[in-house]
């Protein structure tokens, strides 16, 4: 009996000595690889070379000092002298006293009036404004323009877009495709920064594909729209992306969702987006009606997009449409010389 206990003790000691060390606690700095974890992770911040990151850090430090001066924590005259030559921040707003815009809705009045605030919405706004140019895009960034729209019909939905992308006044691509397939029956219309919207659609396409493999079912349009909304909202300070998510599913049929630059998600009877949308709002209000046929919806989408392309300098090229029903998707292409409306009819 004693020998048996002695052997058991030896085996226990050896086993304990060979046991692997306990796993460390998960680091908060590493995002969860599950779907809901990645949605909370901001994947669009911090990319670039070491010099680019250092330059961003320098700009951030300058902006922090500017904000501290506006709150009264740093002497403004000393800060102006420090950055008199080659300052990376806008020091023109460091005048004495509180900035008054005359508009009570503007947030820039909060800078000096709330000196004890750790970080007000106005602070975040000014940091965002210093990172982007007046049109909301970084210098040299490719913009999709654009004119995008989605019109539901009896049994499905039609999505439509022009094909022009530009960098400032230069047309970078005349025949780009702004209609991206997220799943078998769901499409996304892209507007804003071309790079941002391409990254977003790649993420959503991957997540929806993984979800379909896990569940054996196709995702609903609502699921895709709110997935896109969460990505845009969680990264709203780094992205310039306004999209339309539309498609067909067995639960809701044809449905249309628009996600704004700030991350709001709205289900609408029909949706338009991009710089050309302001020119066709009245046209669609007067001519759109529920339960149109597929051909009627596609014809109206082409007509509206052609009107926008005629009036909007950031829209042009060709018209692409996709009709989505329970039977599948049907793509259509209309060349620039076949538009239902154009300059020849205007002038």
DSSP 275-314: GGGGGTHHHHHHH--TT--HHHHHHHHHHHHHHHHHH-TT
Which residues partner with 237 through β-bridges? none
- Of residues 342 and 174, the one with the higher pLDDT is 174
8 Å CB contact between 305 and 147? yes
8 Å CB contact between 245 and 224? yes
> pLDDT class for 51, splitting at 50, 70, 90?
low
> pLDDT class for 169, splitting at 50, 70, 90?
confident
Instruction: Specify the 3-state DSSP secondary structure of 72.
Output: coil
Tell me phi and psi for residue 89, to 5 degrees.
Answer: -110, 165
Range of weakest confidence among 126-140, 172-186, 195-209, 264-278: 126-140
> pLDDT class for 75, splitting at 50, 70, 90?
confident
Q: Is the dihedral of CA 195, 196, 200, 203 positive or negative?
A: positive
8 Å CB contact between 176 and 148? no
Find the mean pLDDT for residues 142-160: 89
d(CA 305, CA 316): 9
The whole-angstrom distance between residue 153's C-alpha and the CA centroid of its chain comes to 27
> pLDDT class for 332, splitting at 50, 70, 90?
very high
Enumerate the active-site residues. 146
Tokens 């094909």 locate to 163
148-153 and 271-273 strand pairing: antiparallel
pLDDT of residue 321 exceeding 60, the answer is: yes
Give me the pLDDT at residue 298, please.
Answer: 97
Mean predicted lDDT score pLDDT of the chain: 75
d(CA 206, CA 210): 6
Give me the pLDDT at residue 73, please.
Answer: 67
> pLDDT class for 113, splitting at 50, 70, 90?
very low
pLDDT of residue 161 exceeding 70, the answer is: yes
> pLDDT class for 251, splitting at 50, 70, 90?
very high
- Of residues 235 and 51, the one with the higher pLDDT is 235
pLDDT of residue 250 exceeding 90, the answer is: yes
pLDDT of residue 47 exceeding 80, the answer is: no
Sorted by where each begins, the domain ranges of the chain are: 50-131, 148-346
Q: Which two tokens stand for residue 61?
A: 């430090």
- Per DSSP, helices labelled H in 219-280 are 221-234
Q: Which two tokens stand for residue 58?
A: 């320098």
Q: Which two tokens stand for residue 337?
A: 């010389």
pLDDT of residue 22 exceeding 90, the answer is: no
pLDDT of residue 211 exceeding 60, the answer is: yes
Give me the pLDDT at residue 283, please.
Answer: 95
Residues whose CB falls within 8 Å of the CB of residue 127, separated by 6 or more in sequence, listed in order: 60, 63, 67, 237
Give me the pLDDT at residue 50, please.
Answer: 57
8 Å CB contact between 178 and 161? yes
CATH of 148-346, one of 3.60.20.10, 3.90.1200.10, 3.40.50.1580, 3.40.50.1950: 3.60.20.10
The whole-angstrom distance between residue 219's C-alpha and the CA centroid of its chain comes to 20
8 Å CB contact between 306 and 341? yes
């Amino acid at each position: 009996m004693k020998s048996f206990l002695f052997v058991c003790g030896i085996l226990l000691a050896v086993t304990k000595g060979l046991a692997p060390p306990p796993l460390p606690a998960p680091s908060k700095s590493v995002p969860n690889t599950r779907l809901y974890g990645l949605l909370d992770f901001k994947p669009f911040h911090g990319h670039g070379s070491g010099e680019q990151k250092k330059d961003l850090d320098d700009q951030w430090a300058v902006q922090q000092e500017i904000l501290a001066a506006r709150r009264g924590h740093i002497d403004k005259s000393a800060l102006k002298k420090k950055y008199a030559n080659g300052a990376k921040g806008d020091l023109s707003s460091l005048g004495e006293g509180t900035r008054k815009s005359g508009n009570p809705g503007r947030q820039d009045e909060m800078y000096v009036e709330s000196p004890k605030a750790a970080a007000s919405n106005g602070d975040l706004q000014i940091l965002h404004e210093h990172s982007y140019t007046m049109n909301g895009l970084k210098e040299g960034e490719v913009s999709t323009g654009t004119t995008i729209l989605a019109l539901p019909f009896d049994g499905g939905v039609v999505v439509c877009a022009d094909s022009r992308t530009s960098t400032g006044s230069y047309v970078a691509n005349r025949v780009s495709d702004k209609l991206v397939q997220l799943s078998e029956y769901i499409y996304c219309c892209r507007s804003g920064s071309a790079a941002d919207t391409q990254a977003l659609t790649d993420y959503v396409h991957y997540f929806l594909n993984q979800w379909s493999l896990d569940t054996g079912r196709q995702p609903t349009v609502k699921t895709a729209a709110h997935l896109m909304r969460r990505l845009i909202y969680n990264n709203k300070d780094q992205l310039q992306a306004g999209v339309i998510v539309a498609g067909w599913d067995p639960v809701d049929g044809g449905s249309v969702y628009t996600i704004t630059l700030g991350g709001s998600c709205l289900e609408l009877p029909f949706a338009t987006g991009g710089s050309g949308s302001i020119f066709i709002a009245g046209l669609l209000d007067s001519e759109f009606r529920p339960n149109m046929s597929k051909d009627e919806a596609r014809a109206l989408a082409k007509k509206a997009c052609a009107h926008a392309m005629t009036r909007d300098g950031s829209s042009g090229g060709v018209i692409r449409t996709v009709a989505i029903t329970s039977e599948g998707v049907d793509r259509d292409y209309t060349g620039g010389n076949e538009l239902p409306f154009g300059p020849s009819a205007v002038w």
